[in-house]
Each structure stands twice: as C-alpha cells, then as structure tokens.
C-alpha cells in the first residue's frame, strides 16, 4: 500500500508525523514523502523535513495525507503544484485525507465541494468559502475523504483511517502501541468554549506581542 504524505514549505510538523506514526508501522505500507521538488524544506516552526520524491513520481497513491500550516493563507496561494497534484491523484486514491488546514488545500483542488469536512477552528470560514460543508467535529468521514481538525486531531484521523483500512482490531492495537490515551494537563477547551479572552491571549502569544 502506497501512502503519500504531501510536504511543502511552512507545513505543520505534527500534522504529518501524527498520522505517520499511526500508519507507518503496519507491514506492507510504503510511505512516500513528496513535494514539488526533492530535498529539505522548513516547517512553520523551522524544523526541517526532507521530500524524497516529487509529485510526478507518485501519481497514483492508495492513500493521500495532506498536513496543514500556520501560514495557510500564503500556502493556498503558493502551493499550486500541490493543488494540481491533489486534483489529479484523488480520483484513483482509496482514501484522501487531511489534517488541520490541509483541508483547505483539498477544497481548493475541488475535492470537498459539497462534502462535509473539518479543519482548524481558525480556518472554518475559509473552508466554507472554498465550497465545503463545514463541520466542527474532530474527525469527519465523507465518502472516500477523511478530514481532521487542528494539529493533534491528526492522530485521531490516522486511527480512524487505520480502522477502515485494516479493521477496528488493528486500529485498537496501533492505539495501544503508540499509547494514545490523552490526559491533557488542562481541561480540554474547544473554540466554542474558549471565550474571546483566551483567543486574544493566543493571538498575542503567536504575534510575539
């Protein structure tokens, strides 16, 4: 089984490595790390990853995984080669998936038109403008497309995908293997519960103010 992880400058590392850790250990899986061109590229935190193949080298993967980015507005404008590859590769893929704002790239490729999909809470309006039926769920399955909400939801997406590829027993075994049993130090807060003060504090932290 060929799983293509689409890489691009400014992507969010955990969006890729979360589902990768879930999927890559299963026998028979071949992971491909593809981008517009091979070589190193910097994530949105500066961490570097390496693309080992170009989009043209992997035209028909079985599974597509598209990470998001904290720079998603710029990425939508810049990553035209990725969008074109998604539009071409999706029809033959068994599953097309995204994490966080990666769903906006799927939407720009025309894959989410009229489909239910989720994304990071900060990109919901944009996702709707691009033609998707926006959901606030953590993971959304619509036909042969699976989308996940922000960053850490990529692990949930990977397990959801694993259950559909190999059955629930295998997915549960993978969950045990990666010891995925979240106990966050603070009460989980969604965008609907955060309140304007927390959102403003987040903006200040991210802007360095």
Q: How confident is the model at residue 39 (pLDDT cuts 50, 70, 90)?
A: very high
Residues 6 or more apart whose Cβ sits within 8 Å of residue 52: 32, 33, 34, 38
SS3 101: coil
Domain 2-183's class? Answer: alpha beta
Residue 141: pLDDT over 60: yes
pLDDT, averaged across the chain: 93
Whether 100 sits among the annotated catalytic residues: the reply is yes
The predicted pLDDT at position 207 comes to 55
Distance CA 87, CA 5 (A): 15
Q: How confident is the model at residue 20 (pLDDT cuts 50, 70, 90)?
A: very high
The predicted pLDDT at position 184 comes to 86
Residues 6 or more apart whose Cβ sits within 8 Å of residue 152: 14, 18
How much of the chain, in percent, has pLDDT values that exceed 90?
87
Q: Tens of pLDDT along 56-113? A: 999 999 999 999 999 999 999 999 999 999 999 999 999 999 999 999 999 999 999 9
Encoding tokens for residue 145?
A: 């497309």
Catalytic pick among 82, 83, 100, 105: 100
The predicted pLDDT at position 193 comes to 66
| Beta strands at 48-51 and 39-42: parallel, antiparallel or unpaired | antiparallel
Average pLDDT score over residue span 141-161: 97
Name which of 114, 39, 34 is nearest 67 in CA terms. 34
Q: Tens of pLDDT along 177-189? A: 999 999 888 776 6
| pTM for this predicted structure | 0.93
The predicted pLDDT at position 33 comes to 98
The predicted pLDDT at position 201 comes to 65
């Amino acid at each position: 089984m060929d799983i293509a992880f689409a890489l691009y400058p400014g992507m969010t590392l955990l969006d890729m490595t979360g589902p990768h850790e879930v999927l890559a250990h299963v026998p028979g899986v071949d992971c491909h790390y593809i981008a517009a061109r091979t070589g190193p590229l910097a994530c949105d935190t500066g961490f570097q990853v390496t693309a080992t193949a170009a989009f043209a080298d992997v035209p028909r993967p079985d599974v597509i995984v598209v990470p998001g980015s904290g720079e998603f507005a710029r990425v939508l404008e810049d990553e035209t080669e990725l969008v074109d590859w998604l539009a071409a590769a999706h029809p033959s893929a068994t599953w097309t998936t995204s994490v966080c704002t990666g769903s906006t790239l799927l939407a720009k490729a025309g894959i989410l038109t009229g489909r239910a999909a989720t994304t990071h809470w900060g990109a919901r309006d944009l996702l709707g403008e691009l033609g998707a039926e926006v959901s606030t769920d953590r993971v959304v399955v619509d036909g042969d497309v699976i989308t996940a909400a922000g960053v850490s939801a990529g692990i949930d997406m990977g397990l959801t995908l694993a259950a559909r590829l190999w059955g629930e027993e295998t997915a549960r075994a993978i969950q045990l293997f990666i010891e995925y049993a979240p106990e966050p130090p603070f009460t989980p807060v969604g965008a609907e519960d955060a309140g304007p003060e927390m959102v403003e504090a987040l903006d200040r932290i991210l802007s360095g103010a």
